[in-house]
Structure formats: structure tokens, C-alpha cells
Chains A and B, each alone.
Chain A
Amino acid sequence: MAEPARRDNRRKRKLTIAKAISEAIAQEMERDSGVFVMGEDIAKLGGVFGNTQGLLDKFGPERVRDTPISETGFISMAVGAAAVGMRPLVELMFVDFFGVCMDAIYNLAAKQAYFSGGHVKCPMVLMTSVGGGYSDAGQHSQCLYGTFAHLPGMKVVIPSNAYDAKGLMTAAIRDDNPVIFMMHKNLQGMGWLGTAPGAIVDVPEDAYEVPLGKADIARPGKDITVVGLGATVHQALDAAETLAKDGIEAEVIDLRSLVPLDREAVLKSVRKTGRLLVVDDDYHSFGVSGEIIATVAEAGITLKSPPKRLAYPDIPIPFARPMEQFALPNAGKVATLIRQMFQE
């Protein structure tokens, strides 16, 4: 059950997503001795993206374990530990690295409950970082949301801000199913990489849950529904701000999770606005954008203009800045596309 944060303990305290995540993990480690963390550079370094900062000092090397560079090894070990009652968190440093360990994820973790008739659970969280835009090329910049969400048996969560990150992480650790927790590098709040200002928000000190599978209306509006996740939520919000000056009120929906997917929130919004744009920095074809548009199409909602998507083209992610920026979605492209939709 979700525990609402106590208001009296909600003093002004802006956190980055990284700090919110490490706080959520620490609170769950205090609450439940079965929670432990494994991954590459997660102990002494505190995680390349800061998700496990301070945990080694608090909980020691037994429960906060640096692993060898053996993703198949430690992810499949997490499944085995979860099967006998632990609640492991493991970190796959970049989602792009899933190629060396996907069997442990989609064939093992994701199928354990089903193949055991629900008798063996797999309460584990796989943290990973996603997204590009900083010239790290195509093996360190992908999102792969659709790839993971396509395969049944694992929940897929993508927070867009620190408040959601803490609450979603708390819910993910307490969930009895495997959860893929994807954190966007442009939102993470690392000293060495720019962060969308909207990702750093007030975060209550108390532990609380943001339920998995409930989308957030990041900005209400009546003229068009803009669906995003992770970094694209902020692009949509920036575009909505610009468009408001032209009299177009965009409603921005932050999906928060792909599995479970809050289809009802999207349908409700589109029924109201009659227009739909999906913004996704994952690959264009066979992914999130297509799924959202199909959901609306299947519901038979009459639209005022054809639905559109702004997604990453079906190409590997290039290194050179002009090429990468050309391919990525951004707030300017979102605004332009919406204006075109109103001219159609």
C-alpha cells in the first residue's frame, strides 16, 4: 500500500534523482534486512550515476557489493537470491550493456514467477541508466524502453523527477516482481553532466511509495495531449510553456512506467483534447510511441488531427554533436510539430 508522506516532515529540500534514489534504497535497507545491492562500481564509488552514494558507509560491504564486470553472473545471482526470500537491487551501468546479459533478465528473472506457477517470486530491482545527448555514441546512449517493455514478466519504470524517483524506487523494492528501473542521464543530477532543472524537486524525507502503473498529469491542458517519459516529459513541458503564449494549452502526461502502462490516463486525456503527440527518445519503430497511438486508435476516439510521434529515428546513435542533436527530440521540435498539427 502507498504510504503518503507526512506533510509535517516535508520540509523544503530539493534533491537530484541520484540522491533521491540512494535515500530510497537506504531507507528500505534499514527497514528490511533482505534488501542488498550488487553491481559494478556501486560500493566505493557509489555508482557511476550516484544511485548508491553513501550506502557502503552505512551498511558495509556485505550488503553493498562491488562485483566483477560480470553482468550475467551478478544479475542471475540476484534472481537466485530473490527466489529464496531476499530483495536484491542490481545495477546494469548502462542499459546498452544488456546485450551481454539479456538471458538473465528476460529468460530468467522475467519468467520465474510464471514457470513456477507463482510459487517462486522474483522481487528484485534492476537499475540502469538510459539516454544520450552528450556525445557518448551508440553503445552508451540508448533508451531501449520498448525493448524491455515488449518482453512480458518485468515491470518497467522511468522516473522524470526526484520526487517520483524516490517513491517509485520504494514501491519497486517492495514489489514482489522484477522491476527494471531506468534512469535518464539527462535528469540524474550528476556533477559532470547537465540536468534538466525540472528533475530536481522537493523530496520528502519520509519513505513513501509512488504506485507503479499510475501516470502523472505533469501539466493540465485542453487542446492536445502530449505523452512523454523520462527526459521527454521535460521537453514536452518546455514546449507547452512556449505554446501557451500562442494560446495552445497542451496537457503533458508523464507515463512514469511502461509496465504496467496507465492506458486509461492517456485515453481520458485524449478524449478531452482530441489530439495526441507522443515524444520518445527511444527508437521510432515498434516501440512506445506506436503502442500509445495504437491504444488510442483501438479505443475508437475521434481525433481532430492525425496522431503524431516524435521519436528517435531508426539509426544507431552517432557521436558527432550536430548529427546526434539532429536525431534527438527536443522542446523546439515538439513545439514545431504541435503547431503543424493545429494547422492541419
Chain B
Amino acid sequence: MYSRMVLSRGYEERLAAAYMEGKTPLFNMANGPLPGEMHLSNGQEPCAVGVCAHLGADDVITATHRPHHIAIAKGVDLQAMTAEIFGKKAGLSGGRGGHMHIFDPKVNFACSGIIAQGMGPAAGAALARKLRGEPGVAVAFIGEGAANQGAFHEVMNIAALWKLPFVCVIEDNAWGVSVAKSQSTAVARNDVRAAAYGIPGVYVPGNDPYAIYAAAGEAIARARAGGGPTLIEIETWRLAGHFMGDVEGYRPAGEKEALFARDPIPAMRQRMIAEKTATAEDVVALEAEAKATLDEVFNFARAAAEPQPEEALEKVFV
């Protein structure tokens, strides 16, 4: 779990640096090697690793517009994903999707740019597994803002009604772009909404990978055993803006500093060393390994060929 968190953080640091190339001194989203919107997930890594530690390649995940940490935790092909984010032909979809549309069917990972859109596809995959009598669960990751979408309610109801092997994981980073959860949501915690569907609801405070691992393990085991869905809300924090270029004027003074002081990665490192589940040397080795992987991945993506423009006309139908 720790190594994936470190990999994800390092990955996004490099993405962020590449994203800013060609965007200074005047920020223009259309410029540079990584154009378009860029939604970083740094700070939210515990949600991804704590859940995905219980999943295999056959298990299905749908993620959000902020997908990198979950993709990395799920084991998406990192070279092809990075090439996709750079808009290269060797990308997962040949450059058609970019960072909000990452599909890796080998590990059953998909994400989308529409809030709560992944709810249905995950529950549908869970239904398919059930109809086929195949093992495998499906997990939909959504943000706290997505719990106010109709799709969330519709799919939670059906998944509970049909006892699907499905888990909905809400990453509550407290902000829907600039609107605070307290200003958008009638309940303080979304796990209480599970009562509306007659299923277990769990709230995991503190952005704690250990607690997330425990809660997800219980929910996923229940889903695998035919016990139906669970709704988990995880308190997490977004250390970046909604997208790169967001000046975050909506945050109260001091909030960012306080969040950085509670960065989950150093916290986990300290705990591992304190509990002697890893040594300082282990940690250094893990970090070096992540760096080597990232060197390889980013070199590949940068060197990869651009798609031919006319390839835009292909793959509308299969």
C-alpha cells in the first residue's frame, strides 16, 4: 500500500511539472505537452490503496475525473496510461481519451469525466458477474459531490434491491470544485444515506490507510459472499486545487497548510517504522524503486509518437 501511495504521489509530481511546461508565464490550458484539464489526486492516495489492496484484476473499478491514484492502485498499465495522458498513439486509447478517460480492460479499470457516471457501469458489471455466476466484485469510486446526483440514488437502490456484489466508495475531499460539502449536502456524512437502501454504511475518518483497508476489506468480503452492497464514505483531503490552475480562493486561510501537515504519506511512513513493519532502509528502497519506475514510464511517454490526425476518425464503432 505504501509503495503504491509513493508511486502515485511521485507520478503526479511529474505530471504536474510536465503540465506546467509551456504554461508560464501566461497560463493557457491549451498549451504545453499536457493540454486540457488536469485533476490531481495527491492527498487522496489512502482511499485508492486501502480499497484496491483487496481487489484482483477480475474485480471491476470505475473511477472519477480524478483517477490517477486509483488507476495506479488497481494496476493499470502505467506506460500506456501515461502515454494516453500525453495524448500519444501508444496510449491506452491512442490519445482519444486523455486523463479523464482511462480504460484498461486487462485490469477492468474505467473512469469518466461526468460526476457519478461510474455508478451504473460498476453496478452493471456486478450484475454481469452475478448473472454469469462468476467471482468478482465491482467498486464505484465517486466524490462526495456525486452523492447528490440522481445516478447515485438510482444505482444504490437497484444494487441494494438486487443484492449485487457492489461497493460504493465516496472520497470526501470536502470540496466540490469551490463549493464546500456543508453548503451542498443536507447531511454531514453520506454514509447515513445507506439507511435509505437498507444496506450497511461506513464512515472512515482521518484519511487513514489502515482504517480504510479494514473497512473496505469487510465490505468487499460481504459483497463476495453474496451479502450485497456497502456504502463507504472516506474523509480524505485534496492537497491540490480542483484542477491545475485553480487558485483556490475559496479555501479558508490556513486550510492547505493544515492539510499538508497531515499528509498521509509521511504519516504512514512514521507508523510503519514505529510499528516496525518496515525499516527506514525499506522505505528508501521503495522510494528508489518508484523513482526508477517513473523515470522509465515518463521517458516512454515523452518519446512515444503522436497519433496521426486522421486516426481521430477511427474507433467510433468497433
Whether the Cβ atoms of B94 and A117 lie closer than 8 Å is yes
A86 at the interface (CB under 8 A from B): yes
Whether the Cβ atoms of A80 and B120 lie closer than 8 Å is yes
Task: Choose the segment among A100-108, A131-139, A220-228 that binds chain B (4+ C-beta atoms closer than 8 Å).
Answer: A100-108
B155 at the interface (CB under 8 A from A): yes
Residues of A within 8 A of B157 (CB): 68, 70, 73
CB distance from A266 to the nearest CB of B (A): 21
Within 8 A of A (CB), among B292-318: 314-318
Whether the Cβ atoms of B105 and A119 lie closer than 8 Å is yes
Whether the Cβ atoms of A119 and B158 lie closer than 8 Å is no
Instruction: Give 1 or 0 for each of A50-77: 1 = CB within 8 Å of chain B CB.
Output: 0000000000001101011010111111
Query: Contacts A108-B121, A115-B93, A119-B92; is A86 near B128 (CB within 8 Å)?
Result: yes
Residue on A nearest B150 in the bound complex, by CB: A72
Residues of B within 8 A of A176 (CB): 318
A244 at the interface (CB under 8 A from B): no
Whether the Cβ atoms of B112 and A68 lie closer than 8 Å is no
B44 at the interface (CB under 8 A from A): no
Residue on B nearest A71 in the bound complex, by CB: B154
Residue in A63, A74, A76, A121 with the greatest tally of chain B CB atoms within 10 Å: A76
Residue on A nearest B103 in the bound complex, by CB: A116
Bound Cα distance A114, B93 (Å):
8
Whether the Cβ atoms of B114 and A85 lie closer than 8 Å is no
B169 at the interface (CB under 8 A from A): no
B245 at the interface (CB under 8 A from A): no
Residues of A within 8 A of B123 (CB): 73, 77, 80
Bound Cα distance A224, B158 (Å):
52
Whether the Cβ atoms of A153 and B316 lie closer than 8 Å is yes
CB distance from B157 to the nearest CB of A (A): 6
Query: Contacts A108-B112, A113-B317; is A68 near B161 (CB within 8 Å)?
Result: yes
The size of the chain A interface, using a CB distance under 8 A, is 46
Within 8 A of B (CB), among A140-176: 152-153, 155, 176
Residues of A within 8 A of B93 (CB): 114-119
B151 at the interface (CB under 8 A from A): yes
Query: Contacts A79-B124, A108-B121; is A118 near B318 (CB within 8 Å)?
Result: yes
Whether the Cβ atoms of B96 and A68 lie closer than 8 Å is no
CB distance from B134 to the nearest CB of A (A): 9
Residues of B within 8 A of A83 (CB): 105, 110, 121, 124-125
A196 at the interface (CB under 8 A from B): no
Bound Cα distance A101, B151 (Å):
9
The size of the chain B interface, using a CB distance under 8 A, is 43
Whether the Cβ atoms of B121 and A117 lie closer than 8 Å is no
Name the one of B103, B131, B151 contacting A120, with C-beta atoms under 8 angstroms.
B103
A42 at the interface (CB under 8 A from B): no
Residue on A nearest B136 in the bound complex, by CB: A84
Whether the Cβ atoms of A107 and B114 lie closer than 8 Å is yes
A78 at the interface (CB under 8 A from B): yes
B207 at the interface (CB under 8 A from A): no
Residue on B nearest A80 in the bound complex, by CB: B124
Within 8 A of A (CB), among B139-176: 150-151, 154-155, 157-158, 161-162
Whether the Cβ atoms of A116 and B105 lie closer than 8 Å is yes
CB distance from B219 to the nearest CB of A (A): 19
Whether the Cβ atoms of B128 and A70 lie closer than 8 Å is no
Residues of A within 8 A of B131 (CB): 36, 62-63, 81, 86
B4 at the interface (CB under 8 A from A): no
Known: A114-B316, A119-B93. 8 other contacts (CB 8 A): A63-B131, A70-B155, A73-B120, A80-B126, A82-B124, A104-B117, A114-B93, A119-B92
Could you show 23 A-B contacts with beta carbons less than 8 Å apart? A68-B161, A70-B154, A76-B155, A77-B155, A80-B125, A80-B128, A81-B131, A83-B110, A83-B125, A84-B108, A84-B125, A86-B132, A104-B117, A107-B117, A108-B114, A108-B121, A111-B101, A115-B96, A116-B101, A117-B92, A117-B97, A117-B315, A177-B317
Chain A residues in the interface with B (C-beta under 8 A): 33-34, 36, 62-63, 65, 67-68, 70, 72-86, 88, 100, 103-104, 107-108, 111-121, 152-153, 155, 176-177
Give the 5 A-B CB pairs with smallest separation, nearest first.
Answer: A76-B120, A80-B124, A80-B121, A73-B154, A117-B93
